[in-house]
Structure 1
Amino acid sequence: MELRHLRYFIAAAEERNLTRAAEKLFIAQPPLTRQIKQLEEELGVELFVRKPRGLELTPGGEYFLGQARQLLDKLSATIDETRRIAQHRKTVFSIGFVPSVFYGQLPKMIRRLRQNKNLEILLYELKTQEQVEALKTGKIDIGFGRVNIEDPDVEQELLFAEPIIAAVPAGHELGRHPPTMQELSEWPLVAFPSGPGPNFADITQALFHSRGLKIRVSQQVNDLQTALSLVASDMGFTLVPEQVCKLNREGVEFVSLGEPGITIPVIASRRRGENPNAVMRLVNSILHELVENRLSGRYP
């Protein structure tokens, strides 16, 4: 099996039509048909069902499509990293993160790693599910997120449980004492939109739904900074991880919740079964120290 077999198969699977796939690949259709047939013979399975209107993936074809994409993504990431290493003569270490973990100790870790002149640190803002895929393709080496994702190729470590707090307009009555979920539900919420898979929006809205409380969403926003701007404009309150209070945003007060035990995890994701190299051992050592600081109350 050669790389061209994978590229040809992916093109045919995406176009669901050999003529269009051949045009996309800038080759004639007969050679493409032969290459797909050779791939099927080598695998010993049919990847497509041929129909009058085009191609349809078999269950085996659906599975192979996902694996083929991962293989080519992994190859692309390897080539990019090889070029960077050759150009800079540095070891490249890539980190994925969700924005809400970047207000705590993660910048400290990155700052310490950057003191090593032989390291080049690359940062990627990715949702937790995207981090899992990026780990599998080699795009990142470690990810920091909020959500548990079950995947046989990735292991996740709970670093600590972080309190959820409320961001309310400065001077608002919600800031006079730690509000309960019941009290918060009586005010408009600036919400983050839900998406595929579990995310922060699902977690926070479930806090109300599990208590039988309805919420009144005043606005949906895609990022934290916009949410805080709307809170400062008295559009409502929003729920955020405790680390966010380090922003000291004008017009916004951060208050603890009046109910104990409302937290959200901070999770590190790594490739499963991979022996840590020198850089990963350094990362793990710094991370252990920073987590100990957080748990012992020396959180900066």
Structure 2
Amino acid sequence: MELRHLRYFIAVAEELNLTRAAQRLFIAQPPLTRQIKQLEEELEVQLFIRKARGLELTQGGLYFLQQARTIMERLDASIEGTRQIAQLRKTVFAIGFVPSVFFGQLPFMVRRLRRNKNLEIVLHELKTQEQVEALKSGKIDIGFGRVHIEDPDVEQEVLFNEPLIAALPASHPLTCQSPTMAELAEVPMVAFPAGSGPNFADIAQGLFHRRGLKVQVIQQVNDLQTALSLVASDMGFALVPEQVHKLKREGVEFVPVGDEKLTIPVIASRRRGENPNAAMRLVNTILAELVENRLTGRYP
């Protein structure tokens, strides 16, 4: 099996049409069909079901697609890292993050790292599950998210728990008090991010469900800024991490939840069992300082 087999397979799996895949790869269709057949013969697995209107992945094909993408992502990351190191003579250190964690102290960590002339810092906005896959493929070196993910190749560390607050339309009567969970449950909810879990939206809605409260999700959006825009448009409320109040968004009031203290973790994800290099040791040192600042109420 050669790398071109993986590239051909991924193209066909994404297009589910041999003609379109061949055009995308700039090759003729008959050679592509032969390459896919050879791959199936080598694997001794049927990857596609041939249908009149195109192709459909088998269960084996779906699994192989995930593995092939991981291999190609790791290869691309290795190539890019090699080029950057050769060109810049720097160590490339890649960080994955969910946007909500960058309203706290993590930008300070990035600034500290960028002062090191031997480091090239690369940032990738990724959901926590995507961070786990990116760690395994070598695309990133550390990730910062909100959700616990069970994976034997990745270890997660809870840095601290951040309070959750309610973002409400500025004209809403609940801004005059600290609303209870039951009161918030009567207001339509803007959830983020959209898409399959586990994610922040699942955690936020789960806080209500575990208390026997039902919430009406009026809209799911992909990012925090859009969620706040909808709140400002009087569509509903959103639960957000405490540090988000620094945005001071026009038309939005941030208020604490009155009846109990709600928190959400900030989680660092790393490859399990990997000996930290100099860059990672520096990151760990800075993180320890930032966590201490957070826990003791001191901020840089």
Give the TM-score of the pair, scaled to structure 1: 0.85
The change in CA–CA distance for 1:236 and 1:293 in structure 2 (over 3 A counts) is: same
Structure 2 gaps, min length 5: none
Offset at residue 213 of structure 1 (A): 2.7
Q: What is the aligned partner in structure 2 of residue 100 from structure 1?
A: 100
Deviation at 1:26, TM superposition (A): 4.1
Amino acid at match of 2:87: Q
Deviation (angstroms), 1:116: 0.4
Shift of 1:156: 1.5
* Deviation at residue 100 of structure 1 after TM alignment: 0.7
Partner of 2:296: 296
The answer for the alignment partner of 2:161 in structure 1 is 161
Letter in 2 for 1:209: H
The alignment-based identity, stated in percent, is 76
Separation in 1 of the partners of 2:210 and 2:276? Answer: 40
Partner of 1:205: 205
1:158 & 1:66 partners in 2: Cα distance?
28
Q: Which one-letter code corresponds to 2:210 in the other structure?
A: S
Check conservation: 1:155, 1:272, Cα contact below 8 A. Answer: yes
> How far apart, in 2, do the equivalents of 1:104 and 1:182 lie?
28
3-state SS of paired residue (1:102): helix
Alpha-carbon distance between aligned partners in 2 of 1:49 and 1:169, rounded to the nearest angstrom: 50
Q: Secondary structure at the match of 1:6?
A: helix
Sort the Cα spacing of 1:26 and 1:225 in 2 relative to 1 into closer, same or farther, 3 A. closer
What is the identity, as a one-letter code, of the residue corresponding to 1:282? L
**How far apart in 2 are the matches of 1:32 and 1:3?**
14
Change (3 A) 1:51 1:95: closer
Match of 1:73 in 2: 73
Q: In the alignment, is the contact (CA less than 8 A) between 1:194 and 1:202 conserved in 2?
A: no
Residues 1-300 of structure 1 aligned to structure 2 (within 5 Å) = 1-15=1-15, 21-22=21-22, 24-27=24-27, 31-32=31-32, 35-36=35-36, 38-40=38-40, 42-43=42-43, 45-48=44-47, 51=50, 53=52, 57-170=57-170, 172-192=172-192, 194-217=194-217, 220-232=220-232, 234-299=234-299
The Cα offsets for residues 132-177 of structure 1, whole Å up to 9 and x where unpaired, read as 2222222211111111122232222111111111123447542343
In 2: Cα distance, 1:251 partner to 1:27 partner: 54
Q: Compared with structure 1, are the counterparts of its residues 230 and 90 closer, same or farther at alpha carbon in structure 2 (3 Å cutoff)?
A: same
- Cα distance, 1:42 vs. partner? 4.7
Q: Distance in 2 between matches of 1:205 and 1:250?
A: 25
The 1:55/1:208 distance shift into structure 2, 3 A limit, reads closer
TM-score by length of 2: 0.85
Contact 2:135 2:142 in 1 (8 A): yes
Question: Are the structure 2 counterparts of residues 17 and 174 from structure 1 closer, same or farther at C-alpha, using a change threshold of 3 Å?
Answer: closer
